[in-house]
Homo-oligomer: A and B are copies of this chain.
């Protein structure tokens, strides 16, 4: 059985929980507290030398890190990843967009404001994060203005990946009411079969 090293508030971990649930794959969950640096112990660094969750243990000594790599691994050959090479490439494009342009700004703002509760301490850095986070949201809004989902006209891991931190962007100080296409897409994602919330253990 898969074992997921997880941290409940993490959107990156949530992506994996959500897909596992939608694929109806049973898994064991091991909570690793990022805040007390449990991801930096010698024991954990054997699993992921980069010291981050989520990590999926897929067999003896086989540990897979990076949330979007895990989504890719689990979704290949399923309805959640298109087979067509151009469609698959577009899914990959959005996964890299998410990790480079979206997550470092939107997830980090949420982490500082709502998880660490240190908005004042990070005030200056937050300004830059807000600017870049809104730029990422603009790119998404534009793309979704005439599409229901990010790629191939259907729900894929591109949607799962981008949903994880977008639907809690308000916890990072982002005002989503400016983005009607994103709001409508969030609702479509939420109504997919076997959807679970980020707080669902």
Residues of A within 8 A of B (CB): 49-50, 58, 62, 64-70, 72-73, 76, 85-86, 88-90, 92-93, 95-97, 99-101, 103-104, 136, 139, 142-143
Q: Which residues of B contact A95 (CB under 8 A)?
A: 69, 96
Known: A85-B73, A100-B100. A64 touches B50 (CB 8 A): no
Contact B76 A58 (CB under 8 A): no
Q: Which residues of B contact A143 (CB under 8 A)?
A: 49
Q: Which residues of B contact A96 (CB under 8 A)?
A: 66-69, 95-96, 99
Contact A66 B139 (CB under 8 A): no
Contact B104 A92 (CB under 8 A): no
Q: A50-B139, A73-B86 are in contact. List 5 more A-B contacts (CB 8 A).
A: A49-B143, A66-B96, A68-B92, A69-B95, A76-B88
Q: Which residues of B contact A69 (CB under 8 A)?
A: 89-90, 92-93, 95-96
Contact A85 B92 (CB under 8 A): no
Can you give 10 A-B contacts (C-beta < 8 A)? A49-B139, A49-B143, A50-B97, A64-B93, A66-B92, A66-B100, A69-B95, A69-B96, A73-B89, A104-B104
